[in-house]
Amino acid sequence: MEFSTSTATSLHTLKAQALAIGVFQDGILSPAADALDQASGGAIRAVVQSEFDAAPGSCLTLHAPAGITADRVILLGLGRQDSLTAAILAKAHQAFAGYCVSAGVGTAVSTLCALNAGDASPTDCARTAARLVAAATYRYDQTFSRAKPAVKLRSFTLHLPRSKAAQAKTGLEQGAAIGAGVNLARLLGDLPPNVCTPTYLGQTARGLAKQFKTLKAEVLDRKKIEALKMGSFLSVAKGSVEPPAFIVLRHTPSKPAARKAAPIVLVGKGITFDAGGISLKPGPAMDEMKFDMCGAASVLGTMRAVAELDLPREVIGIVPSCENLPSGSAVKPGDIITSMSGQTIEVLNTDAEGRLILCDALTYAERFKPAAVVDVATLTGACVIALGHVNSGLFTQDDVLAGELLAASRQAQDPAWRMPLEDAYQDQLKSNFADMANIGGRPAGAITAACFLSRFTGKYRWAHLDIAGTAWLEGKQKGATGRPVPLLTQYLLGQCGA
């Protein structure tokens, strides 16, 4: 995909297979729509009045309109003019990108980032547009016997005033990198669990390190994980014959001056299949537990974006990865294990395995003396009940870090919602036989999971993102979303003052 900006003055002589213009409710045209309406002798206004309500996300195609050189003009509904938001512009760009891909459009131009929406800058608008367009070109065809037809969309241009062009260019560049990161995360999530194993995730990290010279990958095998005394991680891994992997992927910025600040560490849950272990899950929809490595996928996807942009900040991605299966060698309810931190854990439910692999990764992260650690995990069904499929759950006791992550989530159109994390919930993890139990009962299940993790994060600033509801879609559109790569990359951009 080629991303560019255009500041050409006459819109009606622009050559493109699809040209997007914004239309508001009550027949109000955006400046671009108005210009084209005049060039076409009133064709736009006529169709808007007769059959377009301009609801957010709606679109209508005009083929070969007179007086306009673009093959098609796509009207994009933006709702009421006085309540235009960056989210509505994103929705319109998503509809436009989806249209272009399904109609086989090769060259697309959008005028939407010329509009002012809330507090979103031209950079924000362009970044979001580019990552949505890049994501719209994603097509999973790895495991079909016949390849699907290639996506034709090859160029996306933002048409805007000269005063906004430089900012938009920066945004397009960031958005292209984020989009590629999102698509990597989606591919890893979508691949079947007999392909996307811990070993495969390790190879993916190595592949990234080959592709981007700022990245260095290290993949620890079972022996090295044992040497580190990661008893908690290993207790989950031992139920499967599939070898575990502990992946460390490190971005060192090419500018030496950018290497001074303490690194930011991202930790991603990499359970490549979660059957529940001895506490076996019920059968229906169990296939979706191949997505239980989406935290890991989002960390790898974010590292890809970070490397492509050569972000001026050291960033380290850590992925503990294994399967959670029942077997004669699997961890049992009642077993007590010793984590790398030395704290002991009574395993009351082997299906609460995410926290068991993450806690050792969080202890490992201490060695980097990080400025902040953010872990990402499809951790609890309870988080899906609490927040549905809209918001990722954000848990932290650090108000500053919470503010930064929430701001990034809004700026990136990748929403998260802060959940409580008070010490009062810690009591639910009390065990009669170990320092803690691995479950806290049904009430506040997403919070007690975060409480469990918090016990391993005393040495640095830390936040946890539960993406159980946002990492993939169910039903007919079943597939990974690539979230929260946009949120994480935005947060990191912010930490670089970008």
* 346 lies in the site for Zn ion, by CB under 5 A: no
Angle between helices 294-308 and 485-495 (to 10 degrees): 40
How far apart, in whole angstroms, are the C-alpha atoms of residue 180 and residue 159?
Answer: 23
* 333 lies in the site for ligand BES, by CB under 6 A: no
Among this protein's residues, is 369 annotated catalytic?
no
Given candidates 292, 346, 375, 414, which one binds Zn ion under the rule CB under 5 A? Answer: 292
- Beta-carbon neighbour count of residue 95 at 10 Å? 20
Q: Output the residue with the shortest Cβ distance to Zn ion.
A: 274
Span near ligand BES by CB under 6 A; candidates 234-242, 338-346, 377-385, 395-403: 377-385
**Catalytic residue (choose from 45, 169, 206, 281):** 281
Q: Binding-site residue total for ligand BES (CB under 6 A)? A: 16
> Binding partner of residue 495 among ligand BES, Mn ion, Zn ion, none, CB under 5 to 8 Å per kind?
none
* 349 lies in the site for ligand BES, by CB under 6 A: yes
* 323 lies in the site for ligand BES, by CB under 6 A: no
> Binding partner of residue 384 among Mn ion, ligand BES, Zn ion, none, CB under 5 to 8 Å per kind?
ligand BES
Given candidates 323, 346, 351, 414, which one binds Mn ion under the rule CB under 5 A? Answer: 351
CB of 306 to Mn ion, least distance (A): 29
Span near ligand BES by CB under 6 A; candidates 27-35, 48-56, 64-72, 350-358: 350-358
Return the residues of window 255-274 that contact Zn ion according to CB under 5 A.
271, 274
Span near Mn ion by CB under 5 A; candidates 37-45, 191-199, 266-274, 483-491: 266-274
* 354 lies in the site for Zn ion, by CB under 5 A: yes
CB of 380 to Mn ion, least distance (A): 9
Among this protein's residues, is 281 annotated catalytic?
yes
Given candidates 135, 361, 468, 488, which one binds ligand BES under the rule CB under 6 A? Answer: 468
Q: Output the residue with the shortest Cβ distance to Mn ion.
A: 351
Q: Output the residue with the shortest Cβ distance to ligand BES.
A: 381
* Residue (315 or 348) nearer to ligand BES, CB: 348
Span near ligand BES by CB under 6 A; candidates 43-51, 181-189, 373-381, 402-410: 373-381
* Residue (98 or 381) nearer to Zn ion, CB: 381
* 314 lies in the site for Mn ion, by CB under 5 A: no
* 274 lies in the site for Mn ion, by CB under 5 A: yes
Binding residues for Mn ion, rule: CB under 5 A, are 274, 351, 353
Active site residues per annotation = 281, 355
Residues that bind ligand BES (CB under 6 A): 274, 292, 349, 351-354, 378-382, 384, 439, 445, 468
Residues forming contacts to Zn ion in the complex (CB under 5 A) are: 271, 274, 292, 354
